[in-house]
Amino acid sequence: MDIKPPARIAPILEQIERFHAAEVRPREDKLRHRLENHREYLDADGRLHPEVQAARREIMRAAGREGIFSLHLPQEIGGGGLTRHEMFFVEEKVYSYGVGLNPAMLAWTDGATPRLMFCREEQRARWVAPLVAGEKTCFNAVTEPGAGSNLFDMKTTAVKKAERWVLNGHKSLITNPFEADVGHVLAVTDPGKGAHSFTYFQFDTAAHLGRGFRHGRVYKTMFDDGLTGEFFLEDLALDDDAIIGERGGGFQIAMASINWTRMRRAGMCSAWSKYLIDRTVERMRSRDVGGRPLGSNQGVQWMVADMVLDWAQARALSLACLQAFEASGPWWGTRRSPEDIRNIALIKLSNDESFFRVADRAVQLHGGAGIMKDTTINKLFQIARNLRIPGGTDEVQRTTIAETLGLRSRGE
Ligand SMILES: Cc1cc2nc3c(=O)[nH]c(=O)nc-3n(C[C@H](O)[C@H](O)[C@H](O)COP(=O)(O)OP(=O)(O)OC[C@H]3O[C@@H](n4cnc5c(N)ncnc54)[C@H](O)[C@@H]3O)c2cc1C
């Protein structure tokens, strides 16, 4: 089961180890009082505390300088050129450190995403390079109060008026809307054209704040991320060069982007599941109940065995799917075979659900100690519960898998 990383990845994993020790761990030590206390982790408004935010940004920039932050992107735009299969091991390494500041080592939805691959040559210096380098952050705004699982319900519009695009809408449940330097927004430009109705726009958030771009509330999520919120577009005026890719090409870009999010679940959930398994085994060995270690009870042993089964199955499935995916062109490509689409949905569904079951058992086996907020066990449980919603819910993944098998509820 212990499927090893390819040889070319070994020095990168060592580099990450050194980077974590030099750049991440010292900042975590300094901010321990905030990282281990949800009241200190957020500010009075419920947003990520500025000190935590600043530390994350410092790590992103340092990781950018070291060439770690964008290892997943192609070299032609400044990335490391790793395949998704190779990135599995990088992501597994980065998340193996738990839930401190370590996730900031790698680009996430607020950083260098595959949407950048669709920017034109002349857009690269201004819009792409700073995100690839971790110098700036962005948000990806697709969801709206009335459009989540089905983006065809979208109401945000971009209408061409006297040479400029005028955007209006309300985007909700967005990661990083308050801190992002760059906004990526999906809007309807060509209603009634099915998948060709949507266009992606990018804009400088600071330049438009109060001038067409207005922050809404921050959401109090169950995992206290302090990063999720809403915003409003009120006659936001943008030029043609704000378009990412082509007019009408937004749906394909959104799917390329979301596919990346889904595939990224594999290394992340594997690492966090293993983290929980290791700590649970440790606890089952050291915790005595009724004069003997908890782990000597067969009922407990079977629960631990089920945790390992869930982790190992999702990991093996993910690696097989990612390997199959390598053979079918660039991972950010917009033309995917039904098998590719199914594999991506299988990765997200299997990882999200198995990680959730692992986390649930870890909490149960830790007893009252697992219920306490501000423990890593509990935090990972909250995160695991959350993961089953963003990036396409469990149900959306099941529907996608069924559709690749020719089962459709509408049309055809
Ligand atoms: C922490 C967090 C961060 C997020 N970050 C972003 C972000 O950065 N950018 C962004 O654009 N969005 C983001 N989202 C939004 C996320 O993508 C949506 O929440 C998700 O797609 C589900 O949409 P919804 O919440 O509107 O639920 P709904 O679409 O209302 O669905 C509710 C429930 O019904 C189920 N359901 C829906 N349709 C069907 C069906 N046909 N058959 C069976 N069941 C169905 C769903 O699976 C779900 O369980 C984020 C969400 C969260 C929680």
Domain boundaries 138-244, CATH class: mainly beta
Atom 12 (ligand 1): residue with closest C-alpha? 143
Environment class of 63 (CB within 10 Å of its CB; exposed 0-12, middle 13-18, buried 19+): buried
Q: Enumerate residues 6+ apart whose C-beta is below 8 A from 392.
A: 149, 258, 262, 345, 348, 400
Ligand 1: centre distance to CA 152 (Å): 13
Rounded to whole angstroms, how far apart are CA atoms 152 and 207?
A: 30
Find, among 11, 86, 100, 15, the residue nearest to 55 by Cα.
100
Atom of ligand 1 nearest to the CA of 109: 8
The one-digit pLDDT tens for each residue of the chain (412 residues) are: 568 899 999 999 999 999 999 999 999 999 999 999 999 999 999 999 999 999 999 999 999 999 999 999 999 999 999 999 999 999 999 999 999 999 999 999 888 999 999 999 999 999 999 999 999 999 999 999 999 999 999 999 999 999 999 999 999 999 999 999 999 999 999 999 999 999 999 999 999 999 999 999 999 999 999 999 999 999 999 999 999 999 999 999 999 999 999 999 999 999 999 999 999 999 999 999 999 999 999 999 999 999 999 999 999 999 999 999 888 888 888 788 999 999 999 999 999 999 999 999 999 999 999 999 999 999 999 999 999 999 999 999 999 999 999 998 765 4
**Topology (CATH level 3) of domain 257-404:** Butyryl-CoA Dehydrogenase, subunit A; domain 3 (1.20.140)
Q: Given this chain, do its domains 138-244 and 257-404 carry the same CATH topology?
A: no
Atom 48 (ligand 1): residue with closest C-alpha? 393
CA torsion angle 226 231 237 242 (round to 10): 40
Ligand 1 binding pocket includes 390 (Cβ within 6 Å) = yes
Mutation pick for ligand 1 pocket among 223, 393, 407, 408 (CB with most ligand atoms within 8 Å): 393
What per-residue confidence (pLDDT) applies to 412? 45
Q: What is the DSSP-derived secondary structure letter of residue 144? A: B
Rounded to whole angstroms, how far apart are CA atoms 236 and 218?
A: 21
Ligand 1: centre distance to CA 148 (Å): 5
What per-residue confidence (pLDDT) applies to 410? 61
pTM of the model: 0.96
Ligand 1 binding pocket includes 286 (Cβ within 6 Å) = no
Atom of ligand 1 nearest to the CA of 396: 47
Q: What is the DSSP-derived secondary structure letter of residue 302? A: H
Ligand 1: centre distance to CA 393 (Å): 6
Domain spans, the chain: 7-112, 138-244, 257-404
Mutation pick for ligand 1 pocket among 108, 110, 113, 143 (CB with most ligand atoms within 8 Å): 143
Atom 7 (ligand 1): residue with closest C-alpha? 174
What per-residue confidence (pLDDT) applies to 1? 55
Ligand 1: centre distance to CA 303 (Å): 30
Positive or negative torsion for Cα 369, 375, 377, 378: positive
Pairing assessment for the beta strands 243-244 and 213-218 based on DSSP bridges? unpaired
Atom of ligand 1 nearest to the CA of 171: 11
Ligand 1 binding pocket includes 148 (Cβ within 6 Å) = yes
Ligand 1 binding pocket includes 141 (Cβ within 6 Å) = yes
Find, among 154, 257, 258, 169, the residue nearest to 213 by Cα.
169
Q: Hey, what are 338's tokens?
A: 């039904």
Ligand 1: centre distance to CA 176 (Å): 17
74: helix, strand or coil: coil
Mutation pick for ligand 1 pocket among 48, 113, 149, 178 (CB with most ligand atoms within 8 Å): 149
